[in-house]
Amino acid sequence: MALFWEFFSLELKLRFKSVSTYVYFALWFCLAFLSIAAQDFLNTGNDKILLNGPFATSILYLMMSFFGMLVIAAIFGTSILRDFQRDTYQLIFTKPITKFAYLGGRWAGSFVTAIICFSGMVFGEALGTLAPWADHTRIAPGHLGWYLHPFLAITVVQIFFLGSLFFAVAALTRKLFVVYLQGVVVFLTYLVVNAVFAASGSLEHFWSAIFDPVGVRLLESVTRYWTVAEKIRCNCHGPESFSITGSSGVALDCSLSSPRTCSSPFPSRRSLPDRMGAEPLAIVTTIPLKPCPRVPW
């Protein structure tokens, strides 16, 4: 374990000295900030859904994790290829180093680095709710669980499986162009398959959600019959959860809420902002609480 921690700490030190780590963090921070602060930056399908609610947050993290495939490939792939690019592997492999210490330490350091980079989404979304120019009629009082639970259930899980895939391919091929090419191939393949399935007009939603490596269709199938009020006040990641792993190893913990999680997050009706005499969120305080509907597969 001592050698494992040596490689793990060395990988973190190298990552924190790299400018790309801070660039990735700033990128996700700005995108998440603009999704809340900028008007019509994030399309939730309905103008009455909260921008920082569980439903919109799940969509945001899903899409950013999907477009972050290239970033995940760059973080995990370069960590295992660094010794071969700098011709230092001859010195390392002459020492009594185990595979677990070498590969495990590199992988764990890359995994923690990727989580830190993508955590910019959580901070960006939280600070975006404080922007004075944001549409506060669609922003509820901040709940830390709304940001952390989708991040742990969606983003971290996708980093784990995608990063492991890219790390294994890079370790086997030991070629830099393969590292970036695999991310592009997975990205384009998913777009093409998703477009073909959407153009076919198929009414089948179960197996397409099961084998969706990203989780977009899974979230769409789970919340297909939810009303606007249920999307506002129901958490998409409740205790009655199930994990679905796609063919590429990407898992999405997308769950149905229980009655305990369907509570209104809003203050009293009088404290809500009222613009031009409209009361867009009054429905949240008047609809009685009830369990969120289950999807009839």
Give the least confident one: 89-98, 144-153, 181-190. Answer: 89-98
| 8 A C-beta contact, residue 233 and residue 284 | yes
**pLDDT tens string 104-134:** 999 999 999 999 999 999 999 889 888 888 8
Please say if the pLDDT value at position 270 is more than 80: no
Q: What mean pLDDT comes out for the span 241-269?
A: 39
Sign of the Cα torsion 289, 136, 23, 71 reads: positive
Q: Which residues pair with 253 in a beta bridge?
A: 243
**pLDDT tens string 34-93:** 988 887 777 766 677 888 888 888 888 988 888 888 899 889 988 888 877 777 777 777
Tokens of 136: 């506060």
Q: What are phi and psi of 244, to 5 degrees?
A: -125, 125
pLDDT at residue number 77: 85
| 8 A C-beta contact, residue 249 and residue 212 | no
pLDDT at residue number 134: 83
| 8 A C-beta contact, residue 146 and residue 57 | yes
pLDDT at residue number 59: 85
What SS3 string covers 53-74?
Answer: CHHHHHHHHHHHHHHCHHHHHH
Helix (H) or strand (E) holding 170: helix 156-173
List the chain domain ranges. 2-286
Note the pTM of the prediction, 2 decimals: 0.75
CA distance 289 to 284: 9
**pLDDT tens string 162-217:** 899 889 988 888 887 888 788 888 888 888 887 887 777 677 777 777 777 777 77
